[in-house]
Structure 1
Amino acid sequence: MQTLEGLDPAALPMEALVAAGVPVVLRGIARNWGVVQAGLRSTHEAVDYLRGFDVGVPVPYSFGGPEIEGRPFYNADFTRLNVEVRRGLLTQVLDEIADTFDDPKPPTYYVASLLIDRALPGFAQSNDAGLAGQGIEASASIWIGNRVTASCHFDTPENLACCAVGRRRFTLFPPEQIDNLYPGPLEPTPGGQVVSVVDMDRPDFARHPRFRDALASAQTAVLEPGDAIFIPSMWWHHVRSLMPFNVLVNYWWRSSPHFLSSPLPALQHAMWALRDLPPRQKQAWSEIFAYYVFGPGERAGQHLPDVARGELAPFDETQARRTRAQLLARLNR
């Protein structure tokens, strides 16, 4: 995996990274963060540092018994998750995690994607990647837990993930490997997004033989405290926390205009409307989608006057609102 070192944290090359569209490790860009420095002094000091920002807002977290071995996942038939979602004060969760530090087979605690501005006001003043200075409107989230494994999944936004406390191993796969990663159910999901059902620490190649092909394109990196990784939109990533206490801060943002819809509802709608059609019709619709959606954006309707193009022209905020209203009206019939 490509690695960049010695970068000025105030001048990260985010525009170039997004344009390149490949994963990149950014060594040491968060080294001077307050939480990173606290964790380097001691794990307990990192816990105390986080406690200092807790304002008493109940937070959701996942809890699983020792038998899940730190891997929020499914039961045997993929109908239920193997963790329960609880709510509690962050200080309480931190105390319970601290009690597991010396346990060789601890239960799993996982605070996932907690919005920092809401739960830890003031934290960002000494722990921030500075993306706003580059004109990037990114939501900052914190992830706190013990030895937790996040199963391989993709996210639609761009992602900058900063390892703050502990160490994390990232394994990434390009989007075209989806078939070789054996995606699980669309719901329920361990973290709100479809995950690979392959146990990547102990793959069963008899059940998942194509995973060998995915491994040929895998990119792996271990992040130390203060390191970060840029994960491009749609890249699959498996994340394993390697220490008894681990904290990660990540930033998600879209590189497309804010008025464009999320592609995920479009996928669900397409599955409903197209997937079970007769093969001949599916092939015909494949050609239509290639023309209107997946081909060059300017091709469809380029033979028409501008005033007649409507949705065939590039979307703006007005057209986006009009299209949304039309879709809602059709779906509600």
Structure 2
Amino acid sequence: MMKIQKHPDYLIFAQDSKSGELLDFPDVPRGWGITIDQTASKPPMEWMNGAFNRIDKNMMYLLQQGVPEWSEQVFYPVNAIIKYNGIIYIAKVENESANPISNVNKWTKLIPDASTEHKGIVQLSSAIDSDSESQAATAGAVKKAYNLANTANKTANTANTTANTAKTNAATAQTKADSAYTLASTANTTANTAKSIAETNASTTAKGRVQLNSAVNSTAENQAATPKAVKDVYDFAKNAMNNFIGVNQKWFDVTNERLINIIYTNTTKKPIFIHVVVWSLSSASAVDATLFVDDVSIKFGGGGVGHNGAWKMANANIIVPANSKYKLNITNGTVFTWLELR
């Protein structure tokens, strides 16, 4: 069973090096091959410090950001996830130099705003006279509408009582009865109007009584969302974000725990990222390696001159989906580094 790893120390290799002890690696795209031309295959300490310093800084960037920021220098595949101006986007198609804001046909927000056409993040409103179709009514708004209807109903009841009293007094005073009758008739009209308003159901075109709805997949336009519905959407979005690769994950050095040609299973319930570096056992032949993920194999090998100018090195990076099986086969070589982001 794999051991639980300790929290990383977040130190950057050679971050406290003295003046002159750290130089940028002179040719990153070529890699260690540049040492053949310039240092007789013996990279100096300053170059080694620069190379490992560069790796640690890139890893620290991923740890700090969680989701990488969009860059016009990167070619993005379908379903790539990036952050731009504090908003997380997912790629619809492969693209390069396509700004997420001005290229809506290539990028889409991971969690869109809610509308009457689709679900998303919704803002609450306590107004009872708003025409907005992009917000959800709060319990406070419903209460205001109810209070208005209740007041109208009480006014109607009071008016009806007054009318009945006037009708009783009409037996002794016809003149007062006629006046009271008129008053009662007017009050009755007012009562009917108030009652009609109180019994009117709310819609997108008129105010009135409203029924609550806790569903998150309803298309109804005559009901108001409950706080539970909003929480369900929020929990769904939060759970989706927690499943992104890199979120709540850490790098682990499992070099001493992984064996060649042994099948391992990703049991983390999330995709993991694997970085493997292998080297040959002699300078006579190049290292030949294959990474297997389920039924897919990825061959890699060769590489420039590496350690002590003799062994040949190669590396591979791969994402392993949740519950997938993976293993490493090597011909004429051994594992130099095996890192897992999990």
Q: Give the alignment's TM-score, normalised by structure 1.
A: 0.24
Is the radius of gyration larger for structure 1 or structure 2?
Answer: 2
Higher RCO by CA contacts (8 Å cutoff, separation 6 or greater)? 1
